[in-house]
Amino acid sequence: MKIAIIGAGAAGIIAAITAKRLNKNLHIDLFDANKGIGKKILASGNGRCNISNNQITSKNYLGENPDFTSFALKEFDFKAFEKFCKSIGLLLDIKPSGKVYPLSNEAKSVTNLLELALKELDVNIHLESMITDIEKVEDKFNIKTQDNEYKAYDKVLISNGLGAAPQLNANESGLDFASKFGHSFNPTYPSLVGLKTDNTYNGKLQGVKKECNVSLYVNGNLEQEIFGDVLFTSYGVSGFAILDISQLAVLNLSQYQDVKIAINFFPKINRNDLGDQIQTLFKTIPSQKAVDIITGMVSNKIAPVLLDICKINIDTKAADINAKQIKALAYQLNQWKLKITDTQGFGHAEASGGGVRTAEVDNKTYESKLVKNLYFAGEVLDIVGNRGGFNLQFAWASGYLVGKSLIKN
């Protein structure tokens, strides 16, 4: 039996290894547009490779139907993943947070061991091979690259991801191939990405970083709250809390909803107490400018912008600030609202949302319900995971199920 796998990322690699281990007589061609396999594996976790997470449920995913992931995550749970890693010689470092890294703390060791496993199993790896077309003639598939044509495949797996990280040759050709075979897809959007905001002071706050509570409002309704780092940038906001909240924010933005976030700089202090603290500071040094005293609480970049938003003159002395103005300052620091207008785009996104509709794919085999012997796995599907190894774990799990299915006649 002859099989083609489009995309040598986590899903494509594990599908090839799983299938070949179950039937060494299979002929498998693994195609990738890059010069090496697993380019996104190499980029994950800032080069340390956040390879998985040991605390995973379908609640860690977004998409039209996140429960689609449940069977794969149960069949190929963390124990199964750990066993697979040991089988290729990879030892893991499990952090208290649940995040999982290679013990070597280096992504390159992961791709090296995966490549050795593929070569040992005689999987044919075709690098720098961008697929331009897939066609089905009777019951066989033909595949075209820029330079060659490969014919008569019995089965094809499309696992070449979506548009996040175009610098790694990421593209949406998988959706083009899926559409050609009659599949529909939900619009794609950048996920785990910095957010652009609509205000006049972005550049003034650039570089300010603080642990904050971030609330997401969609059409005025509170949808999510996340605590973590917020980094102000030239275009808007980034940092771990923003990347995490961006998933739901951008999904709603892509559906033309009104999306705002509110940043609480002092989540452990309620608004009234915060007002009292500001008042005490002002009373202590009444002759100083309010803007200078405020820097005892917040960054000196925030202080002048804060006064400007609260319509307080920059030269106002602490003694001249009234109770209403103190209340306004406390409110702003407790509820710094920003309208989200856009994202930093796919070039800066860690993942892509949207993709091939899961209603058209079997959740146990990942075979197309529309075209026999056509499979999908990983990011090309309308499933996107939270930050922390969840996207890679879905890629491993879905690829594993495809690998098991590929050997069946």
Residues 265-276: pLDDT tens digits? 999 999 999 999
CATH 3.90.105.10 correct for 2-190+352-406:
no
Residue 6 has pLDDT above 80, yes or no: yes
Please state which CATH number belongs to domain 271-334: 1.10.8
Contact 220, 262 (CB under 8 A): no
Q: What is the mean pLDDT of the chain?
A: 95
Contact 41, 50 (CB under 8 A): no
For residue 393, the model assigns a pLDDT of 97
For residue 167, the model assigns a pLDDT of 85
Query: By percentage, how much of the chain surpasses pLDDT 90?
Result: 93
Q: Using one digit for the tens of pLDDT, what is the confidence trace for 355-402?
A: 999 999 999 999 999 999 999 999 999 999 999 999 999 999 999 999
Query: By percentage, how much of the chain surpasses pLDDT 70?
Result: 100
pTM for the predicted model, two decimal places: 0.92
Q: Report how far apart, in Å, the C-alpha atoms of 113 and of each of 26, 102, 119, 231, 287 are.
A: 21, 11, 10, 36, 67
Residues 6+ positions from 6 with CB-CB distance below 8 Å: 12, 31, 131, 134, 143, 156, 157, 158, 159, 160, 174, 177
Alpha-carbon span 189 to 384, nearest angstrom: 10
For residue 319, the model assigns a pLDDT of 94
Average pLDDT over residues 201-212: 92
Alpha-carbon span 71 to 60, nearest angstrom: 14
Average pLDDT over residues 206-219: 97
For residue 201, the model assigns a pLDDT of 87
Q: Using one digit for the tens of pLDDT, what is the confidence trace for 126-168?
A: 999 999 999 999 999 999 999 999 999 999 999 999 988 888 8
For residue 46, the model assigns a pLDDT of 76
Q: Using one digit for the tens of pLDDT, what is the confidence trace for 213-237?
A: 999 999 999 999 999 999 999 999 9
Q: Using one digit for the tens of pLDDT, what is the confidence trace for 274-312?
A: 999 999 999 999 999 999 999 999 999 999 999 999 999
The pair of three-digit structure tokens given for residue 292, joined into one six-digit string:
């200078």
Q: Using one digit for the tens of pLDDT, what is the confidence trace for 307-358?
A: 999 999 999 999 999 999 999 999 999 999 999 999 999 999 999 999 999 9
Q: Counting beta carbons within 10 angstroms of the beta carbon of residue 382, is it exposed (0 to 12), middle (13 to 18) or buried (19 or more)? A: buried
Q: Where does residue 217 fall: left (phi above 0), alpha (psi -120 to 50 degrees), or beta otherwise?
A: beta
Q: Where are the domains of the chain?
A: 2-190+352-406, 196-261, 271-334
Alpha-carbon span 73 to 398, nearest angstrom: 8
Average pLDDT over residues 75-83: 97
Q: Where are the beta strands (DSSP E) in 72-130?
A: 92-94, 99-102, 124-126
Q: Quickly state the pLDDT bin for 45 (edges 50, 70, 90).
A: confident
